[in-house]
Structure 1
């Protein structure tokens, strides 16, 4: 007959095997992504090796600061206090997981698990993630509106082709169907929970400042990374224009469910930079440098931190 100690030992071993399997899986995903995009990684590294090292240091510093700003925004999305060190580590791990799963599922899963480990119920944790995502989208829109007057005519409403119009009509029809389906009450309850979370956060001024300050800083720091890389490779575009192009391209790429925007953001950034008069080679080098600092260099350390957090039951 099994004793409670034997059962606990068996559960501990099973948990250890599960943690090891998760770590191996994420490391294999990292290796697969690196091998698949190796030519781009190699080309970017060669180009950046002869770039201005001072500007690259600025870009690297801004990239590291994005994790702190993400942690600040996540703290602002909940009313209870979260452990600061583990919160920053969770954001670092979430950024790596976000490049493995599509449409932000990796980062969402890591942050959801982290908040639940901190004692928040599943419903409140999900609402906190929705509050943070809403603030992030609004912050990007505010920055776009603030920078647009500095570059008049840069952002133009694109010509709406027939396929795009058909897709919009289909999306509108799906919305109408959703409003009349049994799923609508659940969606309405979810929206009500998000609005309640927003009201609860704004009842605490310090939390509201953290939420909006972190969200604005996150978008601004990513823009600064690209600006610094463009300066390092001597791309002939003003910094304000580069920031505006990044915000517009990242907003468009967010509509495509690729892991971390891989492929979609790269194409959107390259197209935006070349359309603004940058040489194609310099634009490609800037995009590769931005990706190297925000994705490829932090990817393996981020996955290792993810495995460590899982092992220590912080996730």
Structure 2
């Protein structure tokens, strides 16, 4: 029975993994000369900086585990929590809009004894804290890097479309659906109050969320130093935070394509050569996505077999 289940999972994982590779290959094929030059530059990059970036990438999973622990009042098993974050990171690159990572974390929390509603609330608390930390960091760094971020031009048609979507959403949320949304929001607010009633949990939530964003920024900074990209570290961190926040609005697996394009555009618009910017994006993706992907899927399979998920 376990062998049959393993085969079903393999049949499901294989096409999804191939789809991710194809999605990554298409934009690379469209801009192959720049990608090739960037890859060659990355191959001769400073190994010391790349090692620092790899260490920072590993630290992001520990930071994610700390933030997840802070989002729940119950103490979670540390080693399994860290393994679940590693597996969730890999799953997040296979399904769009963070569904893979959310499903892994939801299943893990439920296996730890939390009800489904509380587990979903813990994920919402963690996501809210992560978004708030990113916005706070952008607000703190923007004055230190004047004129680096420019507000995009928004047409009246776009404004009208957003307003129309808001009105439509309000109409759809009428009646029973609105009541359910209110109950869900009330549950999340109750979870937030419960977490902040315990200073240790609140510190873990906000400290882990801050460390997660800072370590991802450090990965990109280390890669830019390795390929000798001529931008100050604070500017690179601000560009990463802004690009990753914008890419989060696109429902692609792990921000695939969206984050790469946003980072590349942000770096080149700030004065970096196209080939060097491509090297930095490739290096960042290599350390945070491609190298950990297969080990993460193996850990995911192991957790499922041991019924930790």
TM-score by length of 2: 0.93
Match of 2:199 among 202, 205, 215: 205
Deviations 1:106-153 (A, max 9, x none): 000000000000111101000000000000100101111111111012
Q: Is residue 130–residue 210 contact of structure 2 (8 Å, CA) maintained in 1?
A: yes
Change in Cα spacing, 1:204 to 1:19, as seen in structure 2 (3 Å) is farther
Aligned to 1:238: 232
Distance 2:44 2:203 in 1: 40
**Structure 2 match to 1:130:** 124
Within the candidate set 284, 300, 309, 2:294 is matched to: 300
Mapped partners of 2:284, 2:156: distance in 1? 34
1:70 correspondence with 2:64: yes
Q: How many aligned residue pairs are there? A: 302
Which residues in structure 2 correspond to 1:14-93 (within 5 Å)? 15-34=2-21, 37=24, 40=28, 43=36, 45-93=39-87
TM-score (norm 1): 0.91
Alignment of 1:79-158 (within 5 A): 79-158=73-152
Point out where structure 1 has 5 or more consecutive residues left out of the alignment: 1-12
Instruction: Give SS of 1:154's match.
Output: coil
Match of 1:229 among 223, 226, 246: 223
CA distance in 2, matches of 1:176, 1:34: 38
| Offset of residue 165 of structure 1 | 1.7
Equivalent runs, 1:183-222 vs 2, <5 Å: 183-222=177-216
* In 2: Cα distance, 1:96 partner to 1:160 partner: 35
Q: Is the 8 A contact 1:19 1:310 kept in 2?
A: no
Q: Which whole-Å CA distance do the structure 1 matches of 2:277 and 2:179 have between them?
A: 47
Work out whether residues 235 and 278 of structure 1, in 8 Å CA contact, stay in contact via their aligned partners in 2: yes
SS at match of 1:37: helix
Q: Is the 8 A contact 1:91 1:111 kept in 2?
A: yes
Q: For the Cα contact (< 8 Å) 2:23–2:257, is it kept in 1?
A: no
Equivalence for 1:10: none
Unaligned runs of 5+ in 2: 30-34
CA distance in 1, matches of 2:161, 2:218: 34
Cα deviations by residue, 1:212-241 (Å, 9 ceiling, x for unpaired): 000011011111111111111111100000
* Contact 1:23/1:307 (8 A) holds in 2: no
- Of 159, 176, 179 in structure 1, the residue corresponding to residue 153 of structure 2 is 159
Deviation at 1:159, TM superposition (A): 1.2
Q: Is 1:274 matched with 2:261?
A: no
**Partners of 2:15 and 2:59 in 1: how far apart?**
27
Deviation string, structure 1 residues 5-62 (Cα, Å, up to 9, x no partner):
xxxxxxxx2x542244224422443244335535859846543220010100011110
> What RMSD, in angstroms, separates the aligned Cα atoms of the two structures?
1.8
How far, CA to CA, are the matches of 1:117 and 1:137 in structure 2? 26
